[in-house]
């Protein structure tokens, strides 16, 4: 019995090395990475891209070949939306890596070449008719030209990144059609917003769509600056909520607020605000968001899903926001990594990235345990990791004022304690037992 106990303790101690010590060492690496604390591509993002590239290619091809997207329920958000989001996040991240490689004159092979097969597979998924089934059921056969803002913005985003990476021109006709028709429809609308789904209008998605249209200009050689300027009418004055922020959802045709600003939506639009409406507007929105929603607890810091003072539960789950824990919006804080980096707020970006590194729990082989578990295992298993990859590759907007990182957040300290403390305790237990047996 003593021998069994001794071997069991040794087995636990050995298992602690890959499952605790290894993620702990990666956490230390991340905490010391200058590109976590400031501009640049963090090493974690490069490793995550290399790890995801073959997996996403296999997943995307298999999903298109199976035509399983045709058999989804109309209201099943994870099954319908998350596969496309996975492809878009991966393409946007790859574009950022390619731009970094080109601008810095890095040695070796371009990420565009290394990821060519996966980039093509993501484009195939985005344009696959079976993956359009749910919006076709919502809008009919004219779904690519009748409102449908959220879906069409993802098509624009993904194809823009695809063309920037490959420059092969194959996606240009569809991209140009979507950019021109969606911008014209938004420009002609009474309030500057259109529906995502019938009777569901989300200004935060409209603002993102405007941002993606602006980004497409660089690929298409077009100029939608006049449209961008006019689009500001949808996100100013009476169109803002009581906090002076873009509301999450409104009702048309009146534009009455259905839901005021929320963390997941505000974190998302702040990624686009500096480029669309200038640093002054972006700074104003960011500061309002920070005052109303950023919180520091002893164990963590980050953005709330629902602003302080509003009637909302401190714990719960919502399909867009994910888990809400002690007021923290997990998705809001994850998306805020990209928002903070784009706006130069590395005081927030570093704290949120450090906590994400600790909470992700990197397994041997590179899988991020908890982001993988939070994704849809059957339909979009790589969504969480693709999103993190995308957020970590975001760079400050040109002219952004850089706010440097500061102290270590509580969750990162807890992670260090767990990752190094558990192996230390297990090895100590084994060593003490071994000494007694001598």
Residue 238 lies in a domain: no
State whether the Cα torsion 115-116-117-119 is positive or negative.
Answer: positive
Burial of 408 (0-12, 13-18, 19+ CB in 10 A): middle
SS (H, E, C) 165-191: HHCCCCCHHHHHHHHHHHHHHHHHCCC
Neighbours of 238 (CB within 10 A): 6
Neighbours of 97 (CB within 10 A): 23
Residue identified by tokens 């636990």 is: 12
SS3 324: strand
pLDDT at residue 1, rounded to an integer: 44
14-23 pLDDT per residue, tens: 999 999 999 9
Residues (pLDDT < 50) of the chain are 1
Residue 243 lies in a domain: no
The DSSP secondary-structure symbol of 30 reads H
pLDDT at residue 64, rounded to an integer: 97
Give me 235's structure tokens.
């996100």
Query: What residues make up the domain containing 74?
Result: 2-143+262-437
SS3 167: coil
78-94 pLDDT per residue, tens: 889 999 999 999 999 99
129-156 pLDDT per residue, tens: 999 999 999 999 999 999 999 999 999 9
Give me 372's structure tokens.
């993988």
pLDDT at residue 2, rounded to an integer: 54
Residue 58 lies in a domain: yes
pLDDT at residue 77, rounded to an integer: 81
Query: How many degrees, rounded to 5, is the angle at CA 191 between CA 186 and CA 197?
Result: 60
Residue 224 lies in a domain: no
Residue 217 lies in a domain: no
pLDDT at residue 4, rounded to an integer: 55
Residue 203 lies in a domain: no
CA distance 341 to 245: 19
pLDDT at residue 429, rounded to an integer: 87
Largest CA distance in the chain: 85
Q: Which of 126, 144, 235, 155 is nearest to 185 (CA)?
A: 144
The answer to whether the beta carbons of residues 361 and 305 sit under 8 Å apart is no
State whether the Cα torsion 187-193-199-200 is positive or negative.
Answer: positive
Number of domains, the chain = 1
CA distance 243 to 245: 5
Residue 174 lies in a domain: no
CA distance 90 to 93: 5
The answer to whether the beta carbons of residues 76 and 133 sit under 8 Å apart is no
Return contacts of 131-135, CB within 8 angstroms, 24+ apart: 131/63, 131/64, 131/69, 131/83, 131/84, 133/69, 133/70, 133/72, 134/69, 134/72, 134/74, 134/76, 134/80
Residue 307 lies in a domain: yes
């Amino acid at each position: 019995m003593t021998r069994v106990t001794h071997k069991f303790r040794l087995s636990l101690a050995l298992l602690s090395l890959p499952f605790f010590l290894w993620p702990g060492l990666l956490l230390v690496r991340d905490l010391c990475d200058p590109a976590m604390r400031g501009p640049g591509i963090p090493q974690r993002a490069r490793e995550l891209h290399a790890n995801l590239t073959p997996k996403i290619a296999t997943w995307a091809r298999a999903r298109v070949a199976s035509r399983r997207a045709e058999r989804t329920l109309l209201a099943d958000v994870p099954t319908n939306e998350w596969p496309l989001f996975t492809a878009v996040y991966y393409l946007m991240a790859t574009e950022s890596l390619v731009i970094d490689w080109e601008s810095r004159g890095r040695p070796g092979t371009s990420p565009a070449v290394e990821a060519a097969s996966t980039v093509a597979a993501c484009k195939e998924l985005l344009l696959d008719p079976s993956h359009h089934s749910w919006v076709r059921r919502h809008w009919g056969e004219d779904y690519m030209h009748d409102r449908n803002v959220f879906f069409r913005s993802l098509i624009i985003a993904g194809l823009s990144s695809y063309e920037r990476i490959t420059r092969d021109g194959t996606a240009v006709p569809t991209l140009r059609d979507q950019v021109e028709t969606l911008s014209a429809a938004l420009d002609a609308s009474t309030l500057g917003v259109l529906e995502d789904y019938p009777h569901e209008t989300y200004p935060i998605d409209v603002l993102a769509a405007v941002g993606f249209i602006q980004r497409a200009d660089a690929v298409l050689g077009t100029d939608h600056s006049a449209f961008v300027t006019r689009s500001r009418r949808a996100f100013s004055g009476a169109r803002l909520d009581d906090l002076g922020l873009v509301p999450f959802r409104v009702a048309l045709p009146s534009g009455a607020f259905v839901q005021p600003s929320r963390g997941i939506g505000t974190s998302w639009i702040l990624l686009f605000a500096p480029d669309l409406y200038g640093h002054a507007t972006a700074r104003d929105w960011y500061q309002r968001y920070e005052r109303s929603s950023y919180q520091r607890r002893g164990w963590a810091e980050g953005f709330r899903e629902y602003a302080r003072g509003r009637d909302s539960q401190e714990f719960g789950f919502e399909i867009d926001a994910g888990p809400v824990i002690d007021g923290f919006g997990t998705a809001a804080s994850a998306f805020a990594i990209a928002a903070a980096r784009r706006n130069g707020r590395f005081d927030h970006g570093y704290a949120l990235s450090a906590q994400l590194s600790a909470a992700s729990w990197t397994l041997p082989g590179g899988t991020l345990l908890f982001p993988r578990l939070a994704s849809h295992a059957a339909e979009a298993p790589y969504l969480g990791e693709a999103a993190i990859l995308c957020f970590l590759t975001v760079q400050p907007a040109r002219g952004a004022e850089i706010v440097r990182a500061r102290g270590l957040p509580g969750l990162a300290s807890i992670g260090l304690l767990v990752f190094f403390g558990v192996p230390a305790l297990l090895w100590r237990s084994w060593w003490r037992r071994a000494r007694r047996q001598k």
